[in-house]
Chain A
Amino acid sequence: MAETRQFCTFYLDGLLFGVESQRTQEVIRTMDLTEVPLAPLVVGGLMNLRGQIVAAIDLRRRLELAERPAGQKPMCVVARTSEGAVSLVVDEIGDVVEVEESSFEAPPETLKGPVRSVIQGVHKLDKELLHVVDAERVCVLEETEARAAS
């Protein structure tokens, strides 16, 4: 039997994305965020996750998608990373899907910019493409990358 991977999926601007289920801690409704002045734009703020302070990253901004329409209530996928939990702010939660390793394809060469570092690749599903988000890389923001490079 072919190897499979399980993803927790969600939508952003009509596109299907997924984070590995093992990395997903929980899915919650967005709560009030405490704004962090001076923080990069992708950081939506801080939230109190049962006593733990978790940074919320706006995935739309992180992936350079259009801004979320006003009035749309986002959801949060809390992912476990080496830095602790990180809350990914998404539009809508999808199913947990199991895909075969063989359906995976690396991102095309033409995909550039910050998106490329975050998207590991795509799984070709029957109806649509599942973009695999690297939760670890999501947290590495440009500033830190730039500093590491210099």
Chain B
Amino acid sequence: MDDLIQEFLVESNENLDRYDSELVKLESEPDSQPLLSSIFRSIHSIKGACGFLGFQKLEKLAHAGENLLSKLRDGQIKLTAEIGSALLEAGDGIRKMLASIGTSGNDGEEEFPVYRLRGRLLPLVYLNRELKLQSGASAAAAVNIVVLQVDSRQFGLVVDEVHDTEEIVVKPLGKHFKAIKVYAGATIMGDGKPALILDVMGLAQSASITAAERERTLAMEELGTEKAGSDRQKFVLFAGTGGSRMALPLAMLARLEELPGSGVERSGNQWVTQYRGQILPLIRISHALEERRELLQPELEGSFPPAGSIQVLVLTHDGKSFGLVVPEILDIVEDAAEVQSPATRAGVLYSAVIGNRVTELLDVPSILQSGEVYGMAGGQAAGEGQ
């Protein structure tokens, strides 16, 4: 191996040892500036050398750690247990990458692909790669992604083809397969052939070997920006009434859906639709915001449900789900929403400049109180009362 790389490995491992031991010390004296500076220097020199040697992934992770440390050093953030363990994990991640450089000469597996799903990054796991299969669709073609969830983490499983859903009985595999964590068992399909059943947890574990570093980097970047006091948030933008632009923090949303208008039904004096095995009450944004109601009355009396589809923001409030029917979902943006002015009508928290346009932030609790959810008649009454 290259002498230079050899030297880099020795030196970086020494740096890392110091980094680890000083981090532990830091826990007992979290405000020690000399200690913080020294930890910062350790990771900084690793980062510097990686940039020089072209280990980009390692550099990125070290950089994320360095950022976090510089904020700690400058007093922008406080050392919490969360940040402490993130820093320790970063050290572990760096150590792993160093080991990988030592054995294979590069700092880990190929890039970690992600997919943007409704404004969130979904790490992708290629099933054919996980199973070490040769076949599989080429990267250029459209791919099928099965979105899976383990604990609170979602990931997308890229498969060749999606067949169908089917109820099956999972039978355990014998002990020959115990060591393979990606299978939960097997079953016999309709054609009489055994089919393997994947274990989502096992799959995530086996895939996280490659995803872990990226996640750490991302998590730390997030941690850093969040704690630094910047309140950039993701907002979903949608058309409100009368061409105005409205927004909700993305975090409040369970899902964005386009549902068929034909699925909208009437239950008592309320519009509902069947959604994932539940009855989802629907609130029309046009009715929930009372101010312009009179103005737009003729338009509102237009047929609901429409013949086509309806755009619905699925929200959960106080443990209850409901769907907010909006004219159009526009975009998902990240913005600090710094410029603000007070609300000009009920049902709105405040107006802010989001994505360079004045946007009203919806006040969900007040809309719920406005009564649309309990029926339009009640909603109207509440509106008139104000």
CB–CB B196/A46 < 8 A: yes
**A-contacting residues, B120-155, CB 8 Å:** 131-133
Q: Does B188 contact A (CB under 8 A)?
A: yes
CB–CB A38/B174 < 8 A: no
CB–CB B176/A55 < 8 A: yes
Q: Which residues of B contact A48 (CB under 8 A)?
A: 188, 192-194
Question: Which of B171, B192, B194 counts the most chain A CB atoms within 10 A?
Answer: B194
Of B176, B192, B195, which one neighbours A40 at CB under 8 angstroms? B176
Given known contacts A38-B131, A38-B180, A147-B179, A83 and B194 CB-to-CB distance under 8 angstroms: no
Given known contacts A38-B132, A53-B171, A144 and B192 CB-to-CB distance under 8 angstroms: no
Q: Does B186 contact A (CB under 8 A)?
A: yes
Q: Does A94 contact B (CB under 8 A)?
A: no
Total A-B pairs in contact (CB under 8 Å)? 58
Complex Cα spacing A59 to B298, Å: 80
CB–CB A39/B176 < 8 A: yes
Contact size range, A: 20 to 34
**A-contacting residues, B165-187, CB 8 Å:** 171, 173-180, 182-183, 186-187
Q: Which residues of A contact B131 (CB under 8 A)?
A: 37-38
Closest Cβ neighbor of B196 among chain A residues: A36
Q: Does A84 contact B (CB under 8 A)?
A: yes
Q: Does A113 contact B (CB under 8 A)?
A: no
Complex Cα spacing A51 to B194, Å: 9
Q: Does A126 contact B (CB under 8 A)?
A: no
CB–CB A83/B133 < 8 A: no
Q: Which residues of B contact A143 (CB under 8 A)?
A: 179
Given known contacts A47-B194, A53-B186, A37 and B132 CB-to-CB distance under 8 angstroms: yes
Q: Does A86 contact B (CB under 8 A)?
A: yes
Q: Which residues of B contact A47 (CB under 8 A)?
A: 194
CB–CB A53/B188 < 8 A: yes
**B-contacting residues, A47-80, CB 8 Å:** 47-48, 51, 53, 55, 57
**What are 17 A-B residue pairs whose CB atoms fall within 8 Å in the complex?**
A36-B183, A38-B132, A43-B176, A46-B186, A46-B194, A46-B196, A47-B194, A48-B192, A48-B193, A51-B188, A53-B186, A55-B176, A55-B177, A83-B175, A84-B174, A139-B176, A147-B179
In the A-B complex, the 9 residue pairs with the smallest Cβ-Cβ separation, listed nearest first, are A37-B131, A46-B194, A34-B194, A53-B186, A143-B179, A38-B180, A53-B194, A55-B174, A83-B174
